Structures are given as C-alpha cells and as structure tokens.
Structure 1
Amino acid sequence: MDEAKRMEEGINLALDDNAKDDLLKKQERTNTNVDSNIKQQISEEDDQQLTLVKQKSKRVATLDAFRGLTIVLMILVDDAGGVYPRIDHSPWNGCTLADFVMPFFLFIVGVAIALALKRIPKIKYAVRKIILRTLKLLFWGIILQGGYSHAPDELVYGVDMKIIRWCGILQRIALVYCVVALIETFTTKLRPTTLSPGRISIFTAYKWQWFGGFVAFLIYMITTFSLYVPDWSFVVNGDEPKRYTVLCGMRGHLGPACNAVGYVDRQVWGVNHLYSQPVWRRLKACTFSSPGE
C-alpha cells in the first residue's frame, strides 16, 4: 500500500511538473505573439508616417523645371533686352520673347492652384491660407516694385508715398491668384471626381471656372469699347515742371494714350502711382517731339 501511494504521488508530481511546463510554454508563446503584434503595429505606424512625409514633400518636377526656366527667361530679357531689341518687350503692337514671361508665371500659378486644391478638408482653412498668401505677394510686390529706394549711392531709404507703385507685376499676380483660388475652393465639392464621356464634359465639370473667365473677359471688352475716355494731363518734373495735355475724347481707342484701361488705372490709382517707365514711351507718337503734342 505504501508503495502504491508513493507511486501515485510521484505520478501526480510528474503531472504537475508537466502542467507547469505547458503553462510556461503557453505564456512564452502568448508573450512572443504580443511582442510580434506590437512590433507589427509600430512598423505599420512608421510606414504610415513615412508615406505621409513622402506625400507632403512630393512635388511636380516638370512644374518646378518650367518655373526655373521662366525665371531664367525673365533675367535674360530684363538684362539683355536693351541690347537685343528683338527679345525686349514690344512697345505696343506685336509680341516678343519678353512678353511671354508674365503669361508663363500665370500659367504656373494656375497649375499650382489645381494641384494644391484637389482635396480640401476644410474650406475655412483653405480660404485663410489663400488670403494670407495673397497678402504676402502684395507686400513683397510693394517692397520690390513699389519704388523702395535701397541703392547704396543714394542718401534716402524707404518709399516715397507720392509716387509709390501700388499695382505692379506681383500685385497683379496676387489678385488673379486670390480670385481663381477662391473660385476653385468653393466649387471643388460641386465638381465630379471623374469626367463623364463626351466632348463637352470638360465644360460641364468646370462650368464655374469657365463662367468666371467669361465674366472677366466680358467686363474687359465692355470697358475697352464702351467707356468714354476724356482728355487728361500729366506733369513732367524737372528744373521747370511742365504740364502736358493728351487730347482723347473718344471710345474704343486701342492706342497707349487714350485706351480705357489706362483711363481706369489713372482714375483708380492716380497717374503718379503708375509705372514711370512704360515700354510704349519708345513709340514715336508718345515722345515729346510728336506732332500731336
């Protein structure tokens, strides 16, 4: 009997040891599974962060290259235009290489707007960003092209508010960017994600963009050919300031002296706040020795 009890106790102890070993193995397996799951989650989060970083830093190389070539072209025509008249701005009629610089910049801005505003999570955030960027462009336009004196050989620094240029090239690009970007922001959710088959699908999908462009074109044409342009005068400063009078009194004139666009600029900004060295002054009809003085 004693031997049987001892054998039974030994068997029970062996079974207990085996059960303990099984439990330990199960715990080790669960721990390894938990560790592997945690590592997998961490690696997935790292991959997601990497993909997010890649998406944020992704740029269109062709657009950047075209922007760089446009800047090179701008420097070329600005510095060498006086030596080679064929690449300088056309005085009025015609088109030269220099006349493509600003349209190229506007094209770049339009493509960048379409790429940047594909997905808009919050309209308020997008509008705030557009307005802030517009204000930055206006500020730098006034600093760079508003008449700020920073030459080392001059004694005066700052801007003469009597002749400051309010609407230069950067300012015009800023205003165009603001209008187009706002139209794109408020109409993105109204536009289908994919174009439907058909020849006019590009017009129906982007109807508000086409409508905005048509309204701008209509305002320009009505202003150009229906606005009456009266006579106007300007003063040439010097030792003896002299006032010159330009005889207009007409509508629909497309020359530099009596066109409606110039009249609107003079009324809105003032003749002293316009560009002081326009290219049309090289025309014979716009010189002081012209018979129509």
Structure 2
Amino acid sequence: MGILQRIAIAYLVTALCQIWLKGDDDVDSGLDLIKRYRYQLLAGLLITITYMVLLYGTYVPDWEYRISGPGSTEKTFTVKCGVRGDSGPGCNAVGMIDRKILGIQHLYGRPVYARSQQCSIDSPQNGPLPPDAPSWCQAPFDPEGLLSSVMAIVTCLIGLQYGHIIVHFQVKCLLSIW
C-alpha cells in the first residue's frame, strides 16, 4: 500500500465519522464542543486502543522469507521471533499483519532499515551486509502498511477536532485558550 492510499483511507474514515458521529448540541463553550463531538472522540480513542492492543499484544512467531540471488538461486532466511510486543524491525506486529493479509510479495523488497548500522557496513548509506547482520536485514517491509495506517486515521481525527475548534470559536482569544 502506498502513502496516497493511506491518506485516502484515513480521510474516508474521518469523513464517515464527521457525517455519522456528531451530535446536535449547540456549541457555546469548550465543554459543549466536547459534548457535540463526543462520539468522534470516542471513535479515536477506540481506534488508538485497538492499535495498541494489536501492536503490543500480538504474538509474532518465527517466519521465513526468500531472496533471489545471482542466476536462479534462492536463499531462504529465517527470522527468529517468538515474541509479543517487540517494536524492532524484524519481529513487530505491524510487519506480521502486513505479511499475513497483503502477502510478503506485496511488501517493499529494500526497506529503509537496510541502511542501519546493524544491516550496512556503509551506514547510513546502502552497503554490503556486515558478517554478523541479523536475518531480518533484507526482509521485505511496508512502512505504509495496514496497522500503521490505523494511526493515520487517528491523526486525521485529531486534525478534524482542531478544525472544529477553529470553526466554532472564531475569536482569537478563545483559540489561545485551547
């Protein structure tokens, strides 16, 4: 999935929240604003909780991937995980969910972490692998994947709430209070 698809999904969900999840209360103060848009705020909170539960609660088992070498040879790498709540590049829930739903063939073959000190002798540029490089250094990864796009929705919802503040309180002194 690309960045434009991620933005489109976030805008779509935010627009649906704006259409379906707003109250009919009049807005005269900050508390009234919270009352009117309480369901949107609740949706943002539930999405954030879901993200955190998936990110830190999902068990990531060991997994394998293949890289085509020179000629027709394929090399198979095994990434040893067996963990829950890891936020490192090889064993996080974000990558596992993308591999399961999108398939490993739909992920980027040259992720940005291949330029890290653990994965490149010439870090921060691309370079040859160090002799003790972890097995995940050449693993495919999608930085705009499904689970990370969930937080893009929350970011759009936060922007929508700032828009509500600007629209409902046009006086500059009230904006400074918020």
TM-score range, shorter chain: 0.5 to 0.7
Q: Distance in 2 between matches of 1:248 and 1:264?
A: 14
Residues 291/187 of structure 1: CA separation in 2 closer, same or farther (3 Å cut): closer
CA spacing shift, 1:201–1:278, aligned 2, 3 Å: farther
Structure 2 residue aligned with 1:205 = 36
Number of the residue aligned with 1:282: 115
Q: SS at 1:275's partner residue?
A: coil
Looking at secondary structure, tell me which structure has more strand per residue. Answer: 2
Counterparts of 1:58-207 in structure 2, within 5 Å, are 167-188=1-22, 190-192=23-25, 194-197=26-29, 199-207=30-38
Count residues in correspondence. 124
Displacement after TM superposition at 1:276 (Å): 2.5
Task: Kindly provide the CA deviation profile for residues 8-54 of structure 1, in whole angstroms up to 9, marking residues without a partner as x.
Answer: xxxxxxxxxxxxxxxxxxxxxxxxxxxxxxxxxxxxxxxxxxxxxxx
3-state secondary structure, aligned to 1:200: helix
When Rg is computed on C-alpha atoms for both structures, the one with the higher figure is 1
For 1:209, the aligned partner's letter is Q
Q: What is the distance in 2 between the residues matched to 1:220 and 1:236?
A: 31
SS at structure 2 position matched to 1:258: coil
Give yes or no for contact 2:119–2:133 (8 Å, CA) kept in 1: no
Aligned to 1:256: 89
Taking the aligned partners of 1:174 and 1:211, their CA distance within structure 2 comes to 21
SS at match of 2:87: coil
The structure that is helix-richer by fraction is 1
8 Å Cα contact 1:191-1:206 kept in structure 2: no
Alpha-carbon separation, structure 2, partners of 1:258 and 1:242 = 20
Taking the TM superposition and a 5 Å limit, the aligned residue runs for 1:224-235 are: 224-235=55-66
Q: Is the 8 A contact 2:60 2:83 kept in 1?
A: yes
| C-alpha contact (below 8 Å) 2:55/2:92 kept by paired residues | yes
Which residue of the other structure, out of 128, 134, 139, is the alignment partner of 1:292? 134
How far the C-alpha of 1:201 sits from its partner, in A, is: 2.8
Does 2:79 match 1:246? yes
How far is the alpha carbon of 1:252 from its aligned partner? 0.6
Checking the alignment, whether the CA contact within 8 Å between 1:280 and 1:286 is kept in structure 2 is yes
Question: Aligned to 1:172, what secondary structure does the other structure show?
Answer: helix
- Give TM-score scaled by structure 1 length: 0.40
Q: Using the aligned pairs only, state the percent identity.
A: 37
SS of corresponding position for 2:91: coil
Structure 1 residues not aligned, in runs of 5+:
1-166
Q: Letter of the aligned partner of 2:32 in structure 1?
A: S
The residue type paired with residue 27 of structure 2 is: L
Q: Quick one: distance in 2 between partners of 1:286 and 1:221?
A: 28
Q: Quick one: which amino acid aligns to residue 214 of structure 1? A: L
* TM-score, normalisation: structure 2: 0.63
SS in 1 for 2:76: strand
